[in-house]
Amino acid sequence: MMTVDTVEKSGSGGTISAFAPAKINMTLHVTGRQADGYHCLDSLVMFADVGDTVSVRHSDETTLTITGPMSAGVPTGDDNLALRAAKLMNTTAEISLDKHLPLAGGIGGGSSDAAATLRALSQLTGAQIPVDVLALGADAPVCVIGTGAARMQGIGKDVTNAPGLPVLHAVLVNPMKPVMTADVFQRLTKRNNPPMPDTLPTNADAATLMAWLSEMRNDLQDAAIEAEPAIQQVFSTLQVTPGCLLTRMSGSGGTCFGLYADAETAASAAGRLQESHPGWWVAATRLNAH
């Protein structure tokens, strides 16, 4: 599998492909709301080794082709973030999106696709990625980094790398019921919550990091469960898989994750979940692996 910052060139047409990893909010603290209605967040983000792939090549006009197991329902018009990324780069290209992440799943699929499009088009044309990509969504700035771990603050544009964190073994589970971010925020009852500590763990092993994570929160979790009760079923099922050490929801839902001590235990849990709930999207993965 391609790593997050890998581009591949193939064929005489100079096709370039970039990986668009799932973005996982290990924490998500809602710390306030601006006068313009945008919420302020404080979140530790890690990237998975599962995701979509974006491929681009030169073209006189911009086109988009979508394939993959999660292609159904992906917008194909001006609201598609990959197309908006090409417009932001002020270039035209033939764009192909191989879609593997569930829609409206709280794992930044659209924003990660946009960020991968920006990286691929930058390689294709030599143009620099714009400094301000917030027009592509609150997750776009952190997804442009797209590797390792990062702290995302404010309305999304304040992003700093979070070095010194270990690889974590996880299982991602989505009940295949899209959860609309606006709906979740509307249901939020408390919007001024404490942020994360000023200093994040550094040079921590997995056990130490998980202990720290257990003291953090996703402030959107209860509101998301109210919007889509199936998320609670995901939690209840994940929590009893053998070896599960911590469960939490990513973003505004409905993808939840369980953390495990090693890859074998995570893979075993994923197999059990796929067998018992064939209608769910389940993926064993490594977080912060790049």
Report how far residue 3's alpha carbon sits from residue 247's, in angstroms, rounded to the nearest whole number: 25
Whether 132 is catalytic: no
Q: Which of 98, 113, 139, 219 is catalytic?
A: 139
The DSSP line for 43-100 is EEEEEEEEEEEEEEEE-SS-EEEEESTT-TT---STT-HHHHHHHHTT--EEEEEE--
Report the largest interatomic distance among the alpha carbons of the chain, rounded to a whole angstrom.
56
Rounded (10°) CA dihedral 202, 206, 208, 211: 120
Phi, psi (5° rounding) for residue 260? -135, 165
| Rg for the chain, CA atoms, rounded | 18
Contact 265, 169 (CB under 8 A): yes
229 CB-contact burial (10 Å; exposed 0-12 / middle 13-18 / buried 19+): exposed
Whether 23 is catalytic: yes
Report how far residue 222's alpha carbon sits from residue 203's, in angstroms, rounded to the nearest whole number: 32
Contact 125, 112 (CB under 8 A): no
Give 61-65's long-range contacts (Cβ < 8 A, gap of 24+): 61/92, 62/86, 62/87, 62/92, 62/93, 62/94, 62/95, 63/94, 63/95, 64/95, 64/96, 64/97, 65/94, 65/95, 65/96, 65/97
Q: State the DSSP code for 269.
A: H
Catalytic residues: 23, 139
